[in-house]
Amino acid sequence: MQNGGIVIVGLGPGEANLLTREAWDWLCQIPRVYVRTRHHPTVAGFPEGLEVVSFDDLYDQGEAFEQVYAGIVEAVLRLGQQPGGVTYAVPGHPYVAEATSPEIARRAREQGLEVRVVEGVSFLEPTFTALELDPYPRLALVDALELGPAHMPGFPPDTPALVAQIYSRQVAAEVKLTLSAVYPDTHPVRLVHAAGSPRQKVEDLPLYEIDRSAYVGLLTSLYVPPLEANTSFEGFQDIIARLRAPDGCPWDQKQTHQTLRSHLLQETYETLEAIDNDDPQEMCEEFGDLLLQIVLHAQIGSEYGEFSMAEVIRSISEKIIRRHPHVFGETAVEGVGEVLSNWEKIKEAERAANGTAETKGLLDGLPQALPGLNLAHEIQDRAARVGFDWETIDPVVAKVREELEEVLNAPEEEREGELGDLLFAVVNLARWYKVDPENALRQTNRRFRQRFAHIEKRAREAGRSLAEMTLAEMDAWWDEAKRLE
């Protein structure tokens, strides 16, 4: 490499005896090697007389890893332009869990620099040996530095995962918190330390203890066994696709978006009832039934080339990110009111971008199939977001009283319209009190049914029918039901 160039050498996972023959021969030929870090066991076994220069000073400056890696890339590219080029050595394999090598190779080619890669054993092979694990048929490979800051694991929980770069207890703690969003605290996991070296150690422990290990260090990885079957979204999609397959279920095969409409509506109401009952087990079941409808529609859409589940998820993800610049961007907001105001401005900009700003109004996106109370609440809420609202609650209350008077004084042919106005005014009052009118009425319906069922029960105990009872007698049992609540 008289005219410059870069040789990237993989140093293997541990001791120098795991260097490849090619790597050892090359290290014996050169006078100097630049290593990403001296804190790797192989460095101690380098050939005698080999000058070692490290980039540990960049780490010691306390910068973020991205800045450190960027600095290393720039330095190696600069050295590679000198006569004789440069040899740059990294732990493990140059293309396994190594951020600098791919970027160096890419930019070197852009600059016309020759790049040679000397293979190395990665940390994976000795880790699989330590775990006595065959990674096939599937294994998720995860970077702890990406997993730790996340809110949810980015891989299916029914797939085993190997998390690399658990280099400190702090990183272990961050990874633990992310995994705990899906896995039980007592989920059995395995920490693998210094795989492939004489200091190799495998710890079996529950998830909640991984940041308490005294052995966590630069060469630590975490193996996360899978949860039981049927716990991943991808697996559920496969189940639904199987139902629609030629050898699947005859009923599911015949369904269309239109035939499933009533089922979607029914499952939605059953889910709402579970929420009203505040029963976690019932909610879990009903949310599953509702998810079935969503995935089934997505499967049908995919079969007819309309849309796929990936497109559904991408569309809503991009919309959520776009409409929450105060979370995913730099926009600053103060309070819910400003969030909703920005939301409407963003939607208005979206309509303008889609060419529907002049044809589609603020209320056009509301489905007419919504229950009347819900629809009234949404209409008022959207109008309020752009300032079409009273400034205090007093005129809201006055409007309710006004509409009640109009109902009482209305001729029979106008009574329905006046009652509609009264209900609309009451919904507005509920909105001002931050009460969902549909939920409020559902709860009242539920209380009435429970109290009336108590009256029927007491009547049966007394050997009487409701038809022969007086209103006063039924009122007494009604009051009794209220006291029992």
Q: Which amino acid is at 189?
A: V
DSSP letter (8 states) at residue 92: B
CB-count exposure of residue 452 (10 Å: 0-12, 13-18, 19+):
middle
**Per-residue pLDDT in tens (0 to 9) along the chain, 485 residues:** 556 899 999 999 878 889 999 999 999 999 999 999 998 889 999 999 999 999 998 888 866 788 899 999 999 999 999 999 999 999 999 999 899 999 999 999 999 999 999 999 999 999 999 999 999 999 999 999 999 999 999 999 999 999 999 999 999 999 999 999 999 999 999 999 999 888 899 999 999 999 999 999 988 999 999 999 999 999 999 999 999 999 999 999 999 999 999 899 899 989 988 998 889 999 999 999 999 999 999 999 999 999 999 999 999 999 999 999 999 988 888 888 888 778 778 877 877 777 665 566 778 777 777 788 888 888 898 888 888 899 999 999 999 999 999 999 999 999 999 999 999 999 999 999 999 898 888 889 889 989 999 999 999 998 998 888 899 989 999 999 999 88
Give the CATH class of 6-121: alpha beta
CA dihedral over 130, 136, 142, 147, signed as positive or negative: negative
Longest Cα separation, the chain: 110
DSSP letter (8 states) at residue 91: S
| 435, 440, 442, 444: CA torsion to nearest 10 | 170
Give the separation between CA 467 and CA 456, rounded to whole angstroms: 11
Decide: pTM greater than 0.85.
no
The pLDDT of residue 2 is 55
> Token pair for residue 194?
């210094």
Instruction: Supply φ then ψ for residue 137, to 5 degrees.
Output: -85, -10
The pLDDT of residue 359 is 60
The pLDDT of residue 71 is 93
Give the CATH class of 233-322: mainly alpha
> How far from chain centre, in Å, is Cα 247?
33
Domain 125-224, CATH: 3.30.950.10
User: Domain coordinates of the chain in residue numbers?
Assistant: 6-121, 125-224, 233-322, 438-484
Alpha helices in 44-164 (DSSP H): 56-60, 65-80, 100-110, 124-131, 144-147
